[in-house]
Chain A
């Protein structure tokens, strides 16, 4: 069995308004940071997972992302995978 470290990034789709991101952008400007053009808040999920090779592990991660980690009606996801 191989072990992999996976980082999943879940983001609201560009078409979905992100009021928390807008509020944070507003606070960032009040802090004095200049030049912020956009700010959107997402989630990062880290996991360690075992499997027989990268292909099998990617299948599991795809299922997890598609069915649980992200709601694809409103969110997109991507992930990076590193063999330990």
Chain B
């Protein structure tokens, strides 16, 4: 993919950084570069993934401490420039804590850590992150989280609906998320946060390839 490089952010406690890098490099031939959370120089990456894991041990709240890292401070300019940012699981939690996306992610309704494959409806192709054809599209992706219940107030939900910012909804809501929400984008569409793990669904030998489209869409301008 020419010199297009995706930065994969590594926080203390990230544990999906290598999976993301492997999926991008090995399955999609997209170059990646690990970015330590204390780096604030984003000049040589063209898109960024905030991977899953337990940044800073999930202390205080999931994503609450990561929000203050130099890299997240530098992300504001990156996002304003229109470059693409994908937050997966803990990355989604960091994006809500830092205000790039509205709402918050709280403990699953049944308190279980849920590790499962789930079916998801693609509701919007805002930002081009999902393949939303003429007919209703459903994909299957793995989830693995204890605090993935999306919560927002009714005004925020209305704004999400009015602007088609909800991209993914659970078919069988596993965690009690408001409006079955599994993934949302910002209004510009260049920031996506989702609880399911597309990087774990990029090869038939590990159960499916429904995550490829979203990772590949990182290279969209």
As a 0/1 sequence over residues 195 to 214 of chain B, the CB contacts with chain A under 8 angstroms (1 = contact) are 00000000000000000000
Contact B108 A73 (CB under 8 A): no
Whether A35 sits at the interface, judged by CB under 8 Å, is: no
As a 0/1 sequence over residues 63 to 74 of chain A, the CB contacts with chain B under 8 angstroms (1 = contact) are 000001101011
Whether A23 sits at the interface, judged by CB under 8 Å, is: yes
As a 0/1 sequence over residues 35 to 58 of chain A, the CB contacts with chain B under 8 angstroms (1 = contact) are 000000000000000000000000
Q: Which residues of the partner chain A approach B103 to less than 8 Å between Cβ atoms?
A: 73
Whether B189 sits at the interface, judged by CB under 8 Å, is: no
Whether B104 sits at the interface, judged by CB under 8 Å, is: yes
Contact A68 B64 (CB under 8 A): yes
Q: CB within 8 Å of A: which of B55-90? A: 60-61, 64, 68
Q: Which residues of the partner chain B approach A12 to less than 8 Å between Cβ atoms?
A: 106
Q: Are A19 and B110 also in contact (CB < 8 A) when A71-B61, A71-B104, A74-B104 are?
A: yes
Q: Which of B60, B61, B68, B109 contacts A19 (CB 8 A)?
A: B109
Q: Which secondary structure dominates where chain B touches chain A?
A: loop
> Size class of B's contact patch?
20 to 34
Name which of A20, A23, A74 has the most chain B CB atoms within 10 A of its CB. Answer: A74
Contact A20 B107 (CB under 8 A): yes
Contact B60 A74 (CB under 8 A): no
Contact B110 A73 (CB under 8 A): no
Contact A74 B151 (CB under 8 A): yes
In the bound assembly, the distance between CA atoms of A20 and B109 in angstroms comes to 9
Q: Are A69 and B60 also in contact (CB < 8 A) when A17-B176, A19-B111, A23-B111 are?
A: yes
Whether B97 sits at the interface, judged by CB under 8 Å, is: yes
Whether B144 sits at the interface, judged by CB under 8 Å, is: no
Whether A33 sits at the interface, judged by CB under 8 Å, is: no
Whether A16 sits at the interface, judged by CB under 8 Å, is: yes
Q: Which residues of the partner chain B approach A23 to less than 8 Å between Cβ atoms?
A: 111
Whether B152 sits at the interface, judged by CB under 8 Å, is: yes
Using a CB–CB cutoff of 8 Å, the interface residues on chain B facing chain A are 60-61, 64, 68, 96-97, 102-104, 106-111, 149, 151-153, 176
Q: List 23 A-B contacts (CB under 8 A).
A: A12-B106, A15-B153, A16-B106, A17-B106, A17-B109, A17-B149, A17-B176, A19-B107, A19-B108, A19-B110, A19-B111, A19-B176, A20-B111, A68-B60, A68-B68, A71-B64, A71-B97, A71-B104, A73-B102, A73-B103, A73-B104, A73-B151, A74-B151
Using a CB–CB cutoff of 8 Å, the interface residues on chain A facing chain B are 12, 15-17, 19-20, 23, 68-69, 71, 73-74
Smallest CB-CB A-B distances: 10 pairs: A73-B104, A74-B104, A19-B111, A19-B107, A71-B104, A19-B109, A71-B61, A74-B106, A74-B151, A23-B111
